[in-house]
């Protein structure tokens, strides 16, 4: 599956996800019912997890940049309680793979496989 063929949900609010915060054992057969292929399902979830990870990292970087100190004086460096709270909040969020798996189970991820699309078109003609 070409990595450019996975379309995600843009601007997803990962803070309001109902994904588990701990590891959950999944029934692989049930998980791959839509695609019929375990590897394709894992690729879809993995690509979406990478997208979520980048989104979370960018969001966290923007929030922490507000607290950045541009002075080189070590005496001025201090603990900022707000910065610590933001970091703790992001640490407690579910991992991107768990969010992506939950999205996949809920049918919130749009994906396509061009090889299958071409095969279906050849069968149709």
Report the alpha-carbon distance of residue 13 to residue 53 in Å, rounded. 13
Report the alpha-carbon distance of residue 48 to residue 96 in Å, rounded. 8
Read off the tokens for 73. 């004086």
Task: Using CB atoms within 10 Å of the CB of residue 12, give its burial: 0 to 12 exposed, 13 to 18 middle, 19+ buried.
Answer: middle
- Picking from 52-56, 58-62, 115-119, which range would have the lowest pLDDT averaged per residue? 115-119
Rounded to 5, what percent of the chain is helix, strand, coil? 60, 5, 40
Hey, where are the domains in the chain?
3-69+77-124
Which DSSP symbol is given to 94?
P
Q: Please give the share of the chain, as a percent, with pLDDT higher than 70.
A: 71
Phi and psi at 111, nearest 5°, equal -140, 160
Strand 6-7, strand 110-111: pairing: antiparallel
pTM, full prediction: 0.73
Across the chain, mean pLDDT equals 78
Residue 60 near residue 84 (C-beta atoms within 8 A): no
pLDDT attached to residue 72: 54
Q: Which residues touch 31 (CB under 8 Å, ≥6 apart)?
A: 38, 41, 101, 104, 105
């Amino acid at each position: 599956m070409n990595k450019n063929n996975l379309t995600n949900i843009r601007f997803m609010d990962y803070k309001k996800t109902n994904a588990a915060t701990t590891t959950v054992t999944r029934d692989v057969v049930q998980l791959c019912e839509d695609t019929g292929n375990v590897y394709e399902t894992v690729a879809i979830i993995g690509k979406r997890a990478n997208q979520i990870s980048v989104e979370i990292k960018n969001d966290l970087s923007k929030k922490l940049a507000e607290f950045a100190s541009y002075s080189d004086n070590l005496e001025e460096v201090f603990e900022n309680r707000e910065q610590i709270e933001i970091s703790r909040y992001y640490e407690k969020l579910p991992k991107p793979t768990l969010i992506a798996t939950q999205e996949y189970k809920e049918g919130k991820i749009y994906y396509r496989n061009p090889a299958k699309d071409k095969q279906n078109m050849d069968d149709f003609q």
